[in-house]
Amino acid sequence: MTNRLFKLLLMLLSFHLIMSQLALGQLKIPTGTIQGKVSDADTKTPLIGANVVLRGTHLGAATDFEGNFVVKKVPVGSYVLQFDYIGYERVIKTDIIVRSERITTVQAELKMSAVETEGVSVTAGYFADDENQPTSSVNFSYEEIRRAPGSAGDVSRILMSLPSLAKVNDQSHNLIVRGGNPIENTFFIDNIEIPNINHFPHQGASGGPIGILNVDFIQDVNFYTGGFSAIYGDKLSSIMDVAFREGNRSEFDAQLDLNFGGFGGVAEGPIFKNKGSWLFSARRSYLDFVVDVFDVGSTIAPVYGDIQGKLVYDLNPNHKLMLLGIFADDHNAPDRETGEKNYMTHYGNQDLYQGTVGMNWRAIWNKSGYSNTSLAFTSNKYDED
């Protein structure tokens, strides 16, 4: 009885102290910062004086001469950002997560709105009743990928639930798009082609059991299942166009991660007096450590790791260089007994290495257009017995 009374008095005292601090304004509410850039979707030129509003709050900002904006002292939480500019269509971005003492970067591209004239009434036909017409493209933001049920932060897993897509089996990300072959899918990251974005890649295909890309790097993903532009080459089934975000241009940030994919960390910061930024991550699997600790017999766990980074430098307001690097190595050595128990297609030694390094130059020539020029080198080594 005395113990319960003591706990009750302790709770009442703690509550009293918290309320007293709130009344005196001494208890600080954790806040973060939202910053980013607003540009024209067609020409990539910055939009000066665009309005940025956090819906449901009194917070907001306007873009400067370079299209940049900063909203400081935003309470921690999830927000909806609204972008407005005269002559352009409104853009709304959802699930903007603000973390304590961290900077959240948001990029927005606005399209010019059509000039409205007197309306013309047109009677719809029979097939216009269904408003949910299928499209050949879909977009996913970083937050949608991170919180998607069952995705485990893997960008390929979120695509498996889309219509017209099928997977070969539960142990691979080989996607069959509209009846095509998995080799007919292509991946692009910041205008640089990546042959495969999975660990333990399958030769002659585009899948693997575990994704390489760090979800904290992803700004958004556009997935095209038809009608894609000729700039993507001659692939027949699908195009996954991934945009990596830039690193923090204001301060150094770092975090440690432990998730389904492995353990590692992410670091980022500014370079050359805030004229650019860098972003780097490293990760390694931990299943082999778990097997050793719990002594589960002769089970051999696969070992894999990856590193990836992005370096951005502004030559001037209209010319930007981006250096991208993605590397992964995978090792596995199951014996015949393990292969039979796990219904594996083969057993033996596997040492796989893959890497891509490339540079992209984005140039805004005038208000009518821009160009992307990239040069990349890719290496794949399959050492299998």
Pair 104, 142 in one domain: no
Residue 182 is part of which domain span?
136-384
Of 47-61, 81-95, 126-140, 227-241, the one with minimum mean pLDDT is 126-140
Contact call for residues 184 and 235 (beta carbons, < 8 A): yes
**Which of 45, 75, 110 lies at the terminal end of a domain, its last residue?**
110
Domain membership of residue 53 (yes or no) is yes
Domain membership of residue 123 (yes or no) is no
191-219 pLDDT, tens digit each = 999 988 989 887 777 788 888 998 889 98
pLDDT band, very low/low/confident/very high, at 116 (cuts 50, 70, 90): low
Domain membership of residue 237 (yes or no) is yes
Domain membership of residue 131 (yes or no) is no
**Alpha carbon of 31 to those of 35, 67, 251, 360: distances in Å?**
14, 24, 16, 35
Query: d(Cα 196, Cα 182) in Å, to the nearest integer?
Result: 11
Two tokens, residue 158: 């979120």
CATH code, 63? 2.60.40.1120
Q: What is the mean pLDDT of residues 30-59?
A: 91
Pair 105, 146 in one domain: no
Of 300, 299, 298, 262, whose CA–CA distance to 282 is shortest? 262
Domain membership of residue 173 (yes or no) is yes
Pair 87, 198 in one domain: no
Domain membership of residue 23 (yes or no) is no
CATH code, 151? 2.170.130.10
Domain membership of residue 151 (yes or no) is yes
Pair 244, 316 in one domain: yes
Pair 94, 202 in one domain: no
pTM of the model: 0.77
Query: d(Cα 282, Cα 309) in Å, to the nearest integer?
Result: 9
User: Phi and psi of 113, rounded to 5°?
Assistant: -85, 150
CB neighbours of 375 closer than 8 A, spacing ≥ 6?
358, 359
pLDDT over 70 at 125, yes or no: no
DSSP string, 10-65: HHHHHHHHHHHHHHHT-SPPPEEEEEEEEEETTT-PBPTT-EEEETTSS-EEE--T
Q: What is the mean pLDDT of residues 338-364?
A: 88
Of 330, 118, 116, whose CA–CA distance to 211 is shortest? 330
pLDDT over 90 at 144, yes or no: no
Q: What is the rounded end-to-end Cα distance, in angstroms, of the chain?
A: 70
CB neighbours of 56 closer than 8 A, spacing ≥ 6?
79, 80
Query: For residues 242, 132, 89 and 158, what is the CA-based torsion angle, rounded to 10 degrees?
Result: -20
151-186 pLDDT, tens digit each = 777 888 888 777 777 777 666 777 888 777 788 888
Number of domains in the chain: 2
Pair 98, 234 in one domain: no
Pair 192, 265 in one domain: yes
Pair 153, 214 in one domain: yes
Pair 306, 204 in one domain: yes
**Alpha carbon of 126 to those of 17, 123, 209: distances in Å?**
67, 10, 45
DSSP string, 121-147: -----GGGS-S----SEEEEEHHHHHH
User: Phi and psi of 21, rounded to 5°?
Assistant: -65, -40
pLDDT over 70 at 126, yes or no: no
Contact call for residues 327 and 307 (beta carbons, < 8 A): yes
Pair 145, 275 in one domain: yes
Pair 62, 179 in one domain: no
Domain membership of residue 18 (yes or no) is no
